[in-house]
A and B are shown apart, each in its own frame.
Chain A
Amino acid sequence: MLETFLIPLLKIAVLINALLVSVTFLVLMERKVMAWAQNRLGPMRVGPHGMLQAIVDPIKLILKEDITPAKADKWVFTLAPIMSLAPALAVFSVVPFGFDPLYYIADINVGLLFIISVTSIGVYGIILGGWASNSKYPLLASLRASAQLISYEIAVTMTLVSVILTSGTLSMIGIVEAQQEAGIWFGFIQPVAFVLMFIGGLAETNRVPFDLPEAETELTGGFHTEYSGMRFALFFLAEYANIIVISAITAIMFLGGWLRPFPSIEALAFLDVIPPWIWLVSKIFVFLYVFIWIRATLPRYRYDQLMNLGWKVLIPIAIANLVVTGIVKVLV
């Protein structure tokens, strides 16, 4: 009883809480890093150097008036933020933080496919949110979002398949094991796939330069224009949770997950004193930082350019990479 229910439940509770709290701090981190990139201070009022902003912001959002537009589809309008957040949290059930069973909730043999399929459900939140608002800007945004997410999902999945070919397993733990056996991170074996996955990850999470569905300067906020208060906060949480998910997956698939750098070199064995989950979390942080850095640097793509990039550049490269990986796998 304890083994089968209580421990997993506890782990889920810890993980979800950790995730939500880290999302609020991710928002703070984003504001601070953006500020440093732009010659300003960022939040400074609440707590030392604005550190408590991460706590105050959610409180503000919860206490805000929750407005439902008069002609909105009420049920769908309420459902959309939930449908957006739930998949983002569910994905974490198969993200491992170490070999020890303590560090993961479930290891299923189709772990990677599970992640892909559950994240693909997340798009409903955006589409329905846009549609249910009964407003033109969100509708345009949700059309953009659905086209964008489906297109880039194909590229990302194709890319992941080439990693699966390299590792020979769909299990997340199996993939890290394979990297340990190979003695090298897959990022070095599959550099093209790594880059594709990173770009696809930016697009899947609606980050700059692919933030068209929520382009504030074009669509006044995109699909969540009509949302306020807690429902907006749910969208917000989902978005940042997705960023963390994508970073975690990329770190596990390409940067050896919780493995230390150069796992085959014995001379670096002293690095193993650092617990594995710290390795993974720090790798995730590197990705988060790069995401924010990119946001501070790049302008936004236009819809047609985004589609061209997805269909005419990323997908062909992903397919070519897959074919090459397959040939190499057969020959070697």
Chain B
Amino acid sequence: MTTEATSRRIGQAFDTDELVLNMGPQHPSTHGVLRVVLKLDGERVVDCDCVIGYIHRGVEKLCENRDWTQIILLTDRMDYVAAATSNLGYVETVEKLMQIEVPRRARYIRTILAELQRIASHCLWLGTHAMDIGAMTVLLYSFREREHVLDLFEEFCGARLTYNSMRVGGLPLDIPSGWDKRVSEFCDLMETKLDEYEELLTNNRIWVGRTRDVGVISGEEATALGLCGPPLRGSGVLRDLRKDEPNAAYEEFDFDIPLGTRGDTYDRYLIRLEEFKQSIRIIRQAIAGLPEGPIMGKVPRLLKPPAGETYHAIESPKGEIGYFIASDGRSTNPYRFRVRPPSFCNLQGLRRLVKGHLVADVVALIGTIDIVLGEVDR
């Protein structure tokens, strides 16, 4: 009897069925109420299906019934760990629709806020990703720095999580005095703390073993799957909307886009760590060259964009966050409000990434694509 036939017979005799394992909706590593139905052969994942929508609040429908300014605070509630970039994407879309010129100072401050937000969001990603793989201390360390960012935001707009920090045409508030100095101090601090993270993880054999060659995806596949942000750049596709379609004041700054070569979890980790450094670089340039001037452009008291549709996307910490907005030109609320959520599109790639990996890799991969369920479900 040949070996294959024997092992098949053994397989039949012992009835090694595939095990269906429900990961979530309450699971410590699904980063919220995500349910991943895994089909397992032993510990190996044969297939998976993501069930989402547990915190679907109908944000899009809700926005179609709110006026143009009220929507800003609803955008906070989508990607609640990166509210400022959600705000920014929305107000810029409306500005595009109404062809409003935003003052240069406002654009600079928006850039600083967006980059601070990127640091905060990546801090959260780093902590939870490392925690999923078992490195508990990194979470506490990165949250310590995130706390500094939240303090800066609190000083700027009074809120720590849902900022409501932008307005169509500019900003609601100018920066408090001394804020820019404290931001640069934070940048210096963050640089030293980044070394701490790297010491704990980058050359750690177990960390490398857990992330190297896990969830490898080629650039072509990643593009076709619609991945965006670090997962796409990890596969070596040069696509960062801050460079490709510069918004806010990004075209005035000098920064690099880190790219991965192997498209695995470790590359995505390195990319995000490098993005910390690039964000600090952008913030420093923006603080140094912060122009004087007004913070609000010429905006009518009652926002009522002319009839028309537009799609505008910016680079959020998670990837391309795009807004498709249709105005009918008559009412004071958008006729159609659509968000292209980066977490949603990246989460779609999970099924492709986990195939053939072990259960332990599933949590590593959920961590590496960096999802926020508030944005996936809206």
Choose from B200, B358, B360 the contact partner of A297 (Cβ within 8 Å): B200
With A300-B210, A302-B210 known to touch, is A217 a contact of B137 (CB < 8 Å)?
A: no
Residues A303 and B43 in contact, CB atoms below 8 Å apart: yes
Q: 12 A-B contacts, Cβ less than 8 Å apart?
A: A39-B141, A140-B21, A211-B134, A217-B134, A296-B137, A297-B135, A298-B135, A299-B210, A300-B135, A300-B210, A300-B360, A302-B361
Is A40 on the interface with B (CB-CB < 8 A)? yes
Q: Which residues of chain B are near A215, meaning CB under 8 Å?
A: 134, 360
8 closest cross-chain pairs (CB), A and B: A300-B134, A38-B140, A299-B135, A299-B134, A217-B29, A299-B133, A302-B360, A217-B132
Is B130 on the interface with A (CB-CB < 8 A)? yes
Q: Which residues of chain B are near A209, meaning CB under 8 Å?
A: 134, 206
Chain B contact-residue range equals 20 to 34
Choose from B22, B136, B207, B359 the contact partner of A218 (Cβ within 8 Å): B359
Is B119 on the interface with A (CB-CB < 8 A)? no
Complex Cα spacing A302 to B21, Å:
18
User: Chain B, 343-372, contact with A by CB distance < 8 Å: what is the 0/1 string?
Assistant: 000000000000000111111000000000
Complex Cα spacing A304 to B214, Å:
13
Residues B130 and A302 in contact, CB atoms below 8 Å apart: no
Is B209 on the interface with A (CB-CB < 8 A)? yes
Is B27 on the interface with A (CB-CB < 8 A)? yes
Q: Which residues of chain B are near A184, meaning CB under 8 Å?
A: none
User: Chain B, 193-210, contact with A by CB distance < 8 Å: what is the 0/1 string?
Assistant: 000000011001011011
Residue of B nearest to A37 (CB): B137
In angstroms, how far is the closest chain A Cβ from the Cβ of B105?
A: 37
Q: Which residues of chain A are near B27, meaning CB under 8 Å?
A: 220
Is A282 on the interface with B (CB-CB < 8 A)? no
- Those of A193-207 within 8 Å (CB) of chain B: none
Is B131 on the interface with A (CB-CB < 8 A)? yes
Complex Cα spacing A295 to B27, Å:
22
Q: Which residues of chain B are near A300, meaning CB under 8 Å?
A: 133-135, 206, 210, 360
Q: Which residues of chain B are near A66, meaning CB under 8 Å?
A: none
User: Chain A, 126-150, contact with B by CB distance < 8 Å: what is the 0/1 string?
Assistant: 0000000000110010001000000
Complex Cα spacing A323 to B140, Å:
46
In angstroms, how far is the closest chain A Cβ from the Cβ of B38?
A: 10
Is B10 on the interface with A (CB-CB < 8 A)? no
Residues B200 and A217 in contact, CB atoms below 8 Å apart: no
Most B Cβ at <10 Å: residue of A34, A40, A302, A304: A302
Residues A39 and B144 in contact, CB atoms below 8 Å apart: yes
Residues of B contacting A: mostly? helix
In angstroms, how far is the closest chain A Cβ from the Cβ of B27?
A: 6
Is A109 on the interface with B (CB-CB < 8 A)? no
Choose from A40, A137, A218, A295 the contact partner of B360 (Cβ within 8 Å): A218
Choose from B19, B130, B361 the contact partner of A136 (Cβ within 8 Å): B19
Is A188 on the interface with B (CB-CB < 8 A)? no
Is B294 on the interface with A (CB-CB < 8 A)? no
Residues B136 and A295 in contact, CB atoms below 8 Å apart: yes
Q: Which residues of chain B are near A80, meaning CB under 8 Å?
A: none
Complex Cα spacing A144 to B27, Å:
19
Residues A218 and B206 in contact, CB atoms below 8 Å apart: no
Complex Cα spacing A211 to B134, Å:
9
Is B28 on the interface with A (CB-CB < 8 A)? yes
Most A Cβ at <10 Å: residue of B133, B141, B360: B360
Residue of A nearest to B131 (CB): A217
Q: Count A/B pairs, Cβ under 8 Å.
A: 84
Q: Which residues of chain B are near A302, meaning CB under 8 Å?
A: 209-210, 358, 360-361
Most A Cβ at <10 Å: residue of B132, B133, B144: B133
With A296-B136, A304-B358 known to touch, is A218 a contact of B141 (CB < 8 Å)?
A: no
Q: Which residues of chain B are near A219, meaning CB under 8 Å?
A: 359
In angstroms, how far is the closest chain B Cβ from the Cβ of A237?
A: 22
With A216-B28, A218-B359 known to touch, is A136 a contact of B21 (CB < 8 Å)?
A: yes
In angstroms, how far is the closest chain A Cβ from the Cβ of B129?
A: 10
Complex Cα spacing A212 to B206, Å:
13
Complex Cα spacing A208 to B29, Å:
18
Residue of A nearest to B29 (CB): A217
Most A Cβ at <10 Å: residue of B21, B136, B144, B207: B136
Residues A299 and B43 in contact, CB atoms below 8 Å apart: no
Residue of A nearest to B357 (CB): A302
Residues B137 and A38 in contact, CB atoms below 8 Å apart: yes
Q: Which residues of chain A are near B200, meaning CB under 8 Å?
A: 297
Residues B204 and A298 in contact, CB atoms below 8 Å apart: yes
Is A17 on the interface with B (CB-CB < 8 A)? no
Known: A140-B19, A218-B132, A298-B135. 8 other contacts (CB 8 A): A215-B134, A218-B360, A295-B136, A297-B200, A299-B130, A300-B135, A302-B209, A303-B360
Is A301 on the interface with B (CB-CB < 8 A)? yes
Is A305 on the interface with B (CB-CB < 8 A)? yes
Residues B137 and A297 in contact, CB atoms below 8 Å apart: yes
Residue of B nearest to A305 (CB): B209
User: Chain B, 102-143, contact with A by CB distance < 8 Å: what is the 0/1 string?
Assistant: 000000000000000000000000000011111111001100
Q: Which residues of chain A are near B19, meaning CB under 8 Å?
A: 136, 140
Most B Cβ at <10 Å: residue of A298, A301, A304: A298
Residues B360 and A39 in contact, CB atoms below 8 Å apart: no
Q: Which residues of chain A are near B204, meaning CB under 8 Å?
A: 298-299
Residue of B nearest to A301 (CB): B206
Residues B359 and A140 in contact, CB atoms below 8 Å apart: yes
Q: Which residues of chain B are near A301, meaning CB under 8 Å?
A: 206, 209-210
Q: Which residues of chain B are near A220, meaning CB under 8 Å?
A: 27-28
In angstroms, how far is the closest chain B Cβ from the Cβ of A222?
A: 12
User: Chain B, 10-24, contact with A by CB distance < 8 Å: what is the 0/1 string?
Assistant: 000000000101100
In angstroms, how far is the closest chain A Cβ from the Cβ of B145?
A: 11
